[in-house]
Amino acid sequence: MTDAVTLITTKRDGGHLSDDDIRWLFDAYARREVADEQMSALLMAIYFQGLDGRELRTWTAAMIDSGERLDLTSLTRPTVDKHSTGGVGDKVSLILAPLVASCGGAVPQLSGRGLGHTGGTLDKLESIPGFRTALSPAETIAVLARVGCVICAAGSGLAPADRRLYALRDVTGTVESIPLIASSIMSKKIAEGTSALVLDVKVGSGAFMTDLDRARELARTMVALGEEHNVRTTAVLTRMDTPLGRAAGNAVEVEESVQALQGHGPADLMEVTLALAAQMLALAGLDADPAAAIADGRALAAYRDMVRAQGGDPDAPLPQAQYVQTALPAIADGWLRRLDALAVGTAAWRLGAGRARKEDPVSAAAGVICLAKPGDRVTKGQPLLELRADDPGKMAAALAVLDGAATVSDQPLPPLPSPVIEQIP
């Protein structure tokens, strides 16, 4: 007879869990017959010993089977989604979902909230007056059918085992395990019922993955899981050493997203967005030009339709911070060489745009605006950032993390590398 202690010691000693072992584990854990302490011990063993391909496939399937699946078969459009591993200023989903919808796709974007220095798509959208992110499965499908895109929270019924396991990983130092990350992301994405998926795996100082080789390993692991569960999946590795675009926060990122949909987005943001859009459209079998959909206003119209369908007012003024302060003066005349994404993201978090724990509130108006980006000509003393907050007492903590966040070169820089590194496969 299978028991939790045997599974823990098997994995601790480098052994392999059978398919029946894994299925028993999740079933017993759902019935509370396996204690959180035992599951935590097993997660730590997996952190050190890993899961092989078969174990990971079964582990992910058991997480999916722990709950319900969203049934999108009633939709007439091809379904395709995107997931980002998170970064600073990463408002791509706000632009991408309506953009792909305006090209004929159905985008069921089930998103999350920010934690630490990385922003959350739901927090950003909730800065729009009236916008609802908590939709029932029926409401989600209705918005998808009417508009072609929806951005909302994953319902509690989708992969509920992941919610419990993530809470354990968060407090036991086992978050940074590639098989556990991959199964967490992919169980939710497969359960949402999409037929195709593009993964945006961020790499750099402001990303969860700072090492390119580990980012590649994560991307390949997730692509394999998607394909094994009959979801056409590709991954794109993108840079996250510098904030994406110029805004990091909530309302400030919504504002920049609308500007992007109007055709005025920063070059790096648009390059990433259009690269991901091209991949999504290809997987969905749609022959369309996403740049043309921005230029002729279709993408912006789809965004406005989505906001209205989810209870928001696309014309309502966005929250504005009460306190604004410039920061990070350039140390010399020259060209901005580096603007550290982690420092900027942490500053935005400390200003109130992010949270330390999932239950913490966030400020809609707080954030950071990049007044200059790498490659720009700057003069000594010129402020490189603008800080925004509702509470002036938060400025000092934000300023403290920005010391040394920028470097200036006395020589013009060579052309900056593309923010898109490579595609997998």
Is 373 considered catalytic here?
no
**What SS3 class is residue 191?**
helix
Is 132 considered catalytic here?
no
**In 231-352, which ranges are E strands?**
232-239, 247-249, 323-329, 334-339
How many of the other CB atoms lie within 10 Å of CB of 22? 23
Instruction: Choose, from 184, 195, 205, 363, the residue flagged as catalytic.
Output: 184
What one-letter code names the amino acid at 425? P
Instruction: Choose, from 169, 202, 239, 394, the residue flagged as catalytic.
Output: 169
Is 117 considered catalytic here?
no
Distance CA 398, CA 388 (A): 10
Is 188 considered catalytic here?
yes
Is 229 considered catalytic here?
no
The helix-helix angle for 19-30 and 53-65 (nearest 10°) equals 30
Instruction: Choose, from 11, 188, 189, 304, the residue flagged as catalytic.
Output: 188
Q: Are 84 and 243 in contact (CB under 8 A)?
A: no
Instruction: Choose, from 11, 57, 77, 83, the residue flagged as catalytic.
Output: 83
DSSP state letters, 283-304: HTT----HHHHHHTTHHHHHHH
Give the end-to-end CA distance of the chain in Å, rounded to a whole number: 41
What tokens does 169 get?
């990983």
SS3 sequence of 246-286: CEEECHHHHHHHHHHHCCCCCHHHHHHHHHHHHHHHHHCCC
Rounded to 5°, the CA angle 108-111-112 comes to 165
The residues facing 383 across adjacent strands are: 329
Instruction: Choose, from 162, 241, 268, 305, the residue flagged as catalytic.
Output: 162
Residue holding tokens 């997203």? 257
Residue holding tokens 């920049």? 256
Distance CA 107, CA 226 (A): 17
Could you give the residue numbers annotated as active site? 83, 162, 169, 184, 188
